Structure 1
Amino acid sequence: MDFLDGNPVDADSLKALALTNLGHFTSLRVDDGMAKGLSRHLDRLVRDCRTVFDVELDRARVLSFVRHAAAQREGTFIVRVTVFDPALGTAHPGAEARPRVLVTCRPAAHDLPPLRVTTRAYQRDMPEVKHTGLFGQLALRRAVQRAGFDDVLFTDPETGVVSEGGTWNVGFVDDQERVVWPEARVLSGVTMRLLQEVHTSVSRPVTPDDVPRMRAAFATNTSVAVRPLSAIGDVQLDAEHPVLADLRQRYEKIPGDRV
């Protein structure tokens, strides 16, 4: 069951997401009642609510809604928290906002294979915000999947540097076995930041011309943690590189927060 401000949601309350789609969200993985980086996800919601709606979100209230929804399930699953105002429409989005909190749950994926991706020039609107405007990246994901790939990796249309995946951050392992995070305008993912805290890494611009010199690459978000990339375009990568295994092990050891 899905909940809006802690109560079962009805279809009418969701019309604004379907018709206007002005909002922001975060997703977190719950394993046996624990979630890594829970406080960071709440920080993101508070920060993005200021940016999108110019409203101070009640952090404790949001957490109570998450706990209420999570208590209805067991095991491992993904909780998505979406903040939007059903009263705002396309004609007057500048009206004073009274955001509401939608909490939904879905099963978590397990044992996903490595990804074959290809690059496309694209920059998300307000890339630093995890907003609900997903049309651009999903349209490109659809296009590359129909061309035989699993997903898309974006490059900045102006500078050409690698930025992020369709719904994930990307990291590389260079020829010195260092983890490299591309410098670009991207969504600063919670999982990426947790990995940066537990594994030595560097940040620098990465271009498509740099990719053949990389030993490995991986996608990372709350759903997949560390998912290898087996290829970027025609460049084959080592999906079994030991640094990737080390990253996964270090991530698994990060303590979770009680939901």
Structure 2
Amino acid sequence: MTVTLDGTPVSADDLLPLALTNTGHFTSMRVDADGRVRGLSLHLERLVRDCKAVWGADLDTDRVRDHVRQGLAGVTGRPCVVRVTVYDPAVDMVHPARADEPRVLVSVRGAGAQPPPPLRAMSVPYERDLPEVKHVGLFGALHARRTAQLAGFDDALFVGRDGLVTEGGTWNAGFVDHDGTVVWPRGPVLPGVTMALLREHTGPTGHRVAPVTLERAKSMAAAFATNTSVGVRALSAIDDTELPSGHPVLGRLQETYRSIPGEVL
């Protein structure tokens, strides 16, 4: 993994405030073999929106792109995943309001094949803080994931206090109804880039947003996870309920996602 801060090698001192306060926001982008990024504009819009919400500051997207290009310089392995984290090294626990000059941390790691194998999800009661922001406060989500893995599952599927399914550990959840319609859970969820791209490029598959109880989720024709790293990944089980991972709508969604043209960095 390579890591840079504002285009230069990062030091431990630079990272210490982020490690100690866990305050910031990020987006992760898959850079394909041709150097393009699906949904790049949406990723940049997210960073701008979240920077306002977290830091009360504007973010120069041209600066972000420059730093991403610098972070990718010398990286030969493609595809790869670039994570852009926006945080202020001046932040501290006593006076967080004084931090308002965020900087851009870019990390690059290898990317796995798409789509990865189906995953088995365990329902876990959990609601993320500030769910509309992709922030670095991952303790609750990772604790839920660990709980699921210790129980023999791959990941956690979050269920709110109202009994409605929301999202997964680090992914949006989607379902296929028995009429072939894609159903996205209504509720406090992260507005995912992959989810947005699939809804924009619907092809022959219809989409709708609706409340999804855990019981209804288990009775769907199929279920899947989406994020930039995995694309569209089938869920083969929710708790002890098996789900088909080869449903034709899932195949169409995967093909739709692969056909979306990337944007030049």
Question: What TM-score, normalized to structure 2?
Answer: 0.95
Q: Deviations over 1:160-200 (max 9, x none)?
A: 11100000000000111111101011000000000011122
Secondary structure of 1:203's counterpart equals strand
Q: Which residue of 2 aligns with 1:109?
A: 112
Query: Counterparts of 1:178 and 1:81 in 2: how far apart (Å)?
Result: 34
Shift of 1:20: 0.8
Contact persistence 1:211–1:235 (CA under 8 A): no
Please say if 1:125 is aligned against 2:129.
yes
Contact persistence 1:115–1:230 (CA under 8 A): yes
Shift of 1:134: 0.2
Instruction: Calculate the aligned-residue CA RMSD, in Å.
Output: 1.0
Shift of 1:115: 0.6
| 1:245 equivalent among 242, 248, 251 | 251
Q: Which residue of 1 aligns with 2:233?
A: 227
Shift of 1:96: 4.1
Please say if 1:207 is aligned against 2:210.
no
Q: Deviations over 1:184-223 (max 9, x none)?
A: 1100000000001112201100001112321100000000
Structure 2 residues not aligned, in runs of 5+ = none
Secondary structure of 2:198's counterpart equals helix
Q: Which residue of 1 aligns with 2:36?
A: 34
Q: Which residue of 2 aligns with 1:143?
A: 147
Q: Deviations over 1:133-174 (max 9, x none)?
A: 0000101110110011110000112x1111000000000001
Query: Counterparts of 1:128 and 1:72 in 2: how far apart (Å)?
Result: 34
Query: Counterparts of 1:178 and 1:39 in 2: how far apart (Å)?
Result: 27
Query: Counterparts of 1:96 and 1:10 in 2: how far apart (Å)?
Result: 19
Shift of 1:118: 1.1
Shift of 1:92: 0.7
Secondary structure of 2:144's counterpart equals helix
Q: Deviations over 1:37-74 (max 9, x none)?
A: 00110110010000000001111111110111123223
Q: Which residue of 1 aligns with 2:15?
A: 14
Query: Counterparts of 2:9 and 2:119 in 1: how far apart (Å)?
Result: 36
Q: Which residue of 1 aligns with 2:94?
A: 91
Shift of 1:234: 1.4
Query: Counterparts of 1:76 and 1:115 in 2: how far apart (Å)?
Result: 22
Identity of aligned residues (%): 54
Q: Which residue of 1 aligns with 2:167?
A: 164
Q: Which residue of 1 aligns with 2:179?
A: 176
- Across the two proteins, how many residue pairs are aligned to each other? 258
Query: Counterparts of 2:99 and 2:152 in 1: how far apart (Å)?
Result: 45
Query: Counterparts of 2:7 and 2:134 in 1: how far apart (Å)?
Result: 22
Query: Counterparts of 2:211 and 2:20 in 1: how far apart (Å)?
Result: 38
Which stretch has the larger CA shift, 106-115 or 74-83? 106-115
Secondary structure of 1:2's counterpart equals strand
Q: Which residue of 2 aligns with 1:236?
A: 242
Shift of 1:81: 0.1
Q: Which residue of 2 aligns with 1:153?
A: 157
Question: What TM-score, normalized to structure 1?
Answer: 0.97
Query: Counterparts of 1:149 and 1:88 in 2: how far apart (Å)?
Result: 37
Secondary structure of 1:94's counterpart equals helix
Which stretch has the larger CA shift, 161-170 or 60-69? 60-69
Letter in 1 for 2:72: A
Query: Counterparts of 1:139 and 1:50 in 2: how far apart (Å)?
Result: 28
Query: Counterparts of 1:131 and 1:104 in 2: how far apart (Å)?
Result: 16
Secondary structure of 2:196's counterpart equals helix
Letter in 2 for 1:22: T
Q: Which residue of 2 aligns with 1:70?
A: 72
Structure 1 residues not aligned, in runs of 5+ = none
Query: Counterparts of 1:201 and 1:88 in 2: how far apart (Å)?
Result: 41
